[in-house]
Amino acid sequence: MTESTNIQVGILMGSESDWPTMQHAALILDELGVANEARVLSAHRSPHAAAEYAESAAGRGLQVIICAAGGAAHLGGVIAAHTHLPVLGVPMKGWSTDGLDALLSTVQMPSGIPVGTLAIGKAGARNAALLAVSIMSLSNEDLRGRYLAYREAQTRSVLETELPPAGSA
């Protein structure tokens, strides 16, 4: 988590057990120089604090909020109901359906209160951070340059990949 008074992205999760997955969003944001903060706020166990966080987010300079979507998967929806900022949901692998329940709950938000839904788990956390950066880069040329350089590095990495001879693996 970047230390800054100018936090641009909030990363929220319902419990500390989501951090091993959600820290990957923070790591991408840190790599791209985007100030971020991570907090545990529950839609069910701390609903007033979650609503207060969302309602104050824009005034504090946040531009995007990324929410872990665990078990009941309501955190993203609750946050989105209390802010006009983009909210991105990352379904967590669960204890019973390996994240399918969280994915379906997040992707099926009712019309009018959008929550962008990413992939389940670590890939979703990383992509949520990249999508947040993509959104913010629309109005920030310096950030756009860092984001495009990141994407170019990914392209080079793929194009430079050499496979071992068949049968050697």
Q: CA neighbours within 13 Å on the CB side: how many for 119? A: 12
The verdict on whether residue 30 carries a ligand-binding annotation is no
* Contact residues for 114 (Cβ-Cβ < 8 A; gap 6+): 80, 87
The verdict on whether residue 18 carries a ligand-binding annotation is yes
Q: At residue 134, what are phi and psi to the nearest 5 degrees?
A: -60, -45
Residues making up the annotated binding site are 15, 18, 45
Residues making up the annotated binding site for substrate are 15, 18, 45
